[in-house]
Structure 1
């Protein structure tokens, strides 16, 4: 039963993103702001930091493919970006101290990298006409603030859960 808890938790955050989009009105924070919840990638990055690294990258690959299939018309953007961002954040944590403050900042950097990567991919294939400064002020900044609030709320409970996972795996 315990082996299904982690995929169930990740699926819950995958679904929570779409529920959040449906429940929060688009203009609640202003007319121009675009809020994109990236709860799932934050949870996967925290898994790579506090749990087994290969679990984080594997679930990044799996849920990146699922994210592409469900939400995007182009297969491969998130399939590529989820494991890449997870790996970059894991490597960044090898450089800095592993405390909750630094983990929160590295995780929000990962969310920002994901947003920038998806924007650049869409810009390269002409699926968006938004310039970089508009993207930064209207989408990247509000999205980063909202996801940072989520990370602050979720980092400690997820840390404890992943530590229990590590103890049960004897890694």
Structure 2
């Protein structure tokens, strides 16, 4: 039962992103800021660090493709970026301690890498003409604040679940 719960958690994070965007549309129109929830990558990063690296990368590929098919017009950006961010964070965590504060900061770094990678890919293929300084001010900083709030709310319960998930995997 514990093993079947992880895909549900990650799927829920995937769905929560679109629900959050739908609920925030009216309020964000009044502001010039762009707030992007990245609950999916946060859950994948936590899975990679506390659960199983292989499962984190696998969920990164699966949900990256799903994200591209459902939300973007360019197939491949999230398919490439989600597993790459998961891999980079797992590599970083080989050097750092895996306490909740460090993992939360690394998750924010992962969100930053994802946002920067998507911005650069869109800039290269001429899908955006936003200057980098505008991108940081209008999109990156508000996105990091929103995802920090999400991390603060979800980090401890997700950590506990993923540690028991990893233990169940080791026992099998």
Aligned partners of 1:95, 1:10: CA distance in 2, in Å?
Answer: 26
Aligned partners of 1:103, 1:8: CA distance in 2, in Å?
Answer: 22
**Residue of structure 2 equivalent to 1:114:** 114
Aligned partners of 2:145, 2:170: CA distance in 1, in Å?
Answer: 36
Q: Alpha-carbon deviation of 1:27? A: 3.5
What secondary structure does 1:95 align onto? coil
Aligned partners of 1:136, 1:96: CA distance in 2, in Å?
Answer: 27
Q: Alpha-carbon deviation of 1:28? A: 4.6
Q: Alpha-carbon deviation of 1:2? A: 3.5
- TM-score after normalising by structure 1: 0.96
C-alpha contact 1:27 1:33 (8 A) present in aligned 2: no
C-alpha contact 1:68 1:79 (8 A) present in aligned 2: yes
Where do 5+ consecutive residues of structure 1 fail to align? none
Q: C-alpha offsets along residues 102-157 of structure 1, whole Å, 9 cap, x if unaligned? A: 10000000000000000000000000010100000000000001101101111110
C-alpha contact 2:67 2:78 (8 A) present in aligned 1: yes
1:21-32 correspondence runs (5 A): 21-28=21-28, 31-32=31-32
Deviates more, 1:19-28 or 1:90-99: 19-28
**Residue of structure 2 equivalent to 1:140:** 140
Q: Alpha-carbon deviation of 1:30? A: 5.5
Aligned partners of 2:106, 2:151: CA distance in 1, in Å?
Answer: 10
C-alpha contact 1:61 1:83 (8 A) present in aligned 2: yes
What is the number of residues matched between the two proteins?
A: 171
1:28-43 correspondence runs (5 A): 28=28, 31-43=31-43
Q: Alpha-carbon deviation of 1:4? A: 2.2
- TM-score after normalising by structure 2: 0.95
**Residue of structure 2 equivalent to 1:98:** 98
Aligned partners of 2:53, 2:128: CA distance in 1, in Å?
Answer: 34
After superposing on structure 2, the runs of 4+ consecutive aligned residues of structure 1 that deviate more than 6 Å are none
Q: Alpha-carbon deviation of 1:93? A: 1.0
1:1-171 correspondence runs (5 A): 1-28=1-28, 31-170=31-170
> Which is richer in helix?
2
What secondary structure does 1:34 align onto? coil
Aligned partners of 1:40, 1:87: CA distance in 2, in Å?
Answer: 15
